Chain A
Amino acid sequence: MAANMTSADTRGSRLRWLVIAIPLAWMLIFFLIPFFNVLKISFSTRARAMPPYKPVLTMVDGLAGLFDKLQQFTAANYLMLVADSKYWLSYVSSVQIALCSTVLILLVAYPIAYGMARAPRQWRTTLVMLVILPFWTSFLIRVYAWMGILSDEGLLNQLLMHFGLIDQPLRILTTNWAVYIGIVYSYLPFMILPLYATLEKLDETLLEAAEDLGCPPMKAFWKITFPLSLPGVVAGCFLVFIPITGEFVIPDLLGGSGTLMIGKTLWYEFFNNRNWPLASAVAVVLLLILVVPIVIFQNQQQKQAEKAR
């Protein structure tokens, strides 16, 4: 409404322009444009040089040189992703692990968020802070903590053997079980918080009205509470699903050689094999898989932001 308020004030509008231009330029240079660079390099071939790929486009080539170099681009890296089962199995397994753990996290987070939202009002801020607090402590350290718990001589096995539930240590670390535990643990706050935010806003008189109209509490939950908390469910699911799909630290530290996840594959391709073009191709395909959920997530966040206005 006040869009043209300062239209006459050129100093104001120049300032206004700067406010948009600075962060926009930053994100263009350091976020958007790099993706096209990755795309370009994914069509290159590996080289024993620095940078370890070719062709390297430079200004001094001239047009003829540029044309010559353009012909060196190849789709071989992408063919490799299809041909070698290690790669496409990584994608399938990443998405599978991400989907399963998203459902698991939702199942664990919902009762916690629900309980928090129904807690006495004066406790709620403290409870929210307690959920956020672990999030402030290092992600790496929290994953590391689980290594000590889940290892063969770890606390969990000691405890289970102490109570005589098992005679031999269970192998948990370096299996997908450990990966699931680590993921659920690390991403839990990201699900609890959006769920809590919607559940806390829920008007309790709606439930009283439902009961008054003859709806038993359990049914009222499914008919009233759950549908109204869906925005939180959706936000939470995207907030955990997308980063889990590309997760590296958890499968690398808690998983074993049998744990295939694409973040790990990309990391090894880049750091251990130094195959930058192939790593780029892996990243491009991962991005293509995630582009739909990311766009949905953005739209949802934008809508929420507009609604709050």
Chain B
Amino acid sequence: MRRGLTWFNATSVALGFAFLYLPILLLVVYSFNESKLVTVWTGFSFRWYGALLNDKAMLDAAWVTLRVAFLSATIATVLGTLGALALVRFGRFLGRTVFSGMIYAPLVMPDVITGLSLLLLFVSLDLDRGFWTLILAHVTLTMCFVAVVVQSRLVTFDRSLEEAALDLGATPTKTFFVITLPLIMPGVVAGWMLAFTLSLDDLVIASFTTGPGATTLPMKIFSQVKFGVTPEVNAISTILILVVATGVIVASLITKRREVERQKAERLALQG
């Protein structure tokens, strides 16, 4: 009950993190396994990474996935930021309940439903399924996550900063770009990163909404996994984990350093 870690708190946190990280760790370790059998360790090797480099289908899928993730995350960030502004700033407007419902529902909506309904829409509209339908689908899914992340930043935003800008003669549009946007930027960036990884990660919705020629990496991994566990999947998973983990850790280190510098500056200001 006291501050600090009692043995109970320490144990539960340690066990919890072990549970969260052990499977991932094992996956990474076995990606360097010489053997074709995933579960039997025979020796250290980069064999499967080499195999990956020659697997053109896998590399193509990775390239498609990256492009889809980049484009859809960018569009979703713009739309999601607008959505967050509409939710936080415009008080009551006609259809607000429907609107906020449409922002929150996709967060929990099972992927199979979203995927199926988007596919049937594309078929009804007679759109050729492929790269662009995939982007439409991913924007729809991820913009809601962006909206929620940006919203949490906006609600703590001091409105008097905008009022001060207006008071000093900046038009509402200028105020948004010079004051509001720079200050909610951390939220917008976090929203973009979340949208990017969600798109990178998605299997179900992509399976429904994509077409020939636009197979994504998760789809590729899924079909390989269905045939059985292969070390090559371990290798690509390891690369993905490394890329994402590096990105997230670097991003959070930067924010943390800024925070520390900020606190230091504040302490100095109080003394001086």
Contacts and interface: CB of A to CB of B under 8 A. Distances in A.
Please determine if A and B sit in direct contact within the complex, based on CB atoms under 8 angstroms apart. Answer: yes
Interface of A: 2-3, 6, 9, 11-12, 15-16, 19-20, 22-24, 26-28, 30-35, 37-38, 41, 51, 108-109, 111-112, 114-116, 118-120, 125, 127, 129-134, 136-142, 144-149, 151, 153-155, 158, 185, 188-189, 192, 204, 207, 211, 217, 220-221, 238-239, 242-243, 245-249, 253, 263, 266-267, 270-271, 276, 279-280, 283, 286-287, 290, 294-295, 297-298, 301-302, 305, 308-309
A5 to B, nearest CB: 8
B104 A220 contact: no
B40 to A, nearest CB: 7
B123 A51 contact: yes
Nearest to B157: A309
A112 B17 CA distance: 9
Contacts of A41: 120
A129 B252 contact: yes
A32 B121 CA distance: 11
Main secondary structure on B side of the interface with A: helix
B99 A24 contact: yes
Contacts of A270: 116, 208
Interface in B217-240: 218, 221-222, 225-226, 229, 233-234, 237, 240
A175 B3 CA distance: 42
A213 to B, nearest CB: 14
Interface in B127-170: 136-137, 139-140, 143-144, 147-148, 151-152, 155-156, 159, 163
A309 to B, nearest CB: 5
A217 B1 contact: yes
B263 to A, nearest CB: 12
Contact of A243 (B85, B108, B225): B108
Contacts of A129: 248-249, 252
A27 B99 contact: yes
B5 A118 contact: yes
B172 A12 contact: yes
Contacts of A112: 12-13, 15-17
A294 B108 contact: yes
Nearest to A120: B4
Contacts of B234: 148
A267 B208 CA distance: 9
Contacts of A138: 200-201, 218, 237, 240-241, 244
Interface string B14-46: 011101110110110010000001111000000
6 contacts: A23-B79, A115-B13, A119-B4, A120-B3, A149-B23, A290-B110
B179 interface: no
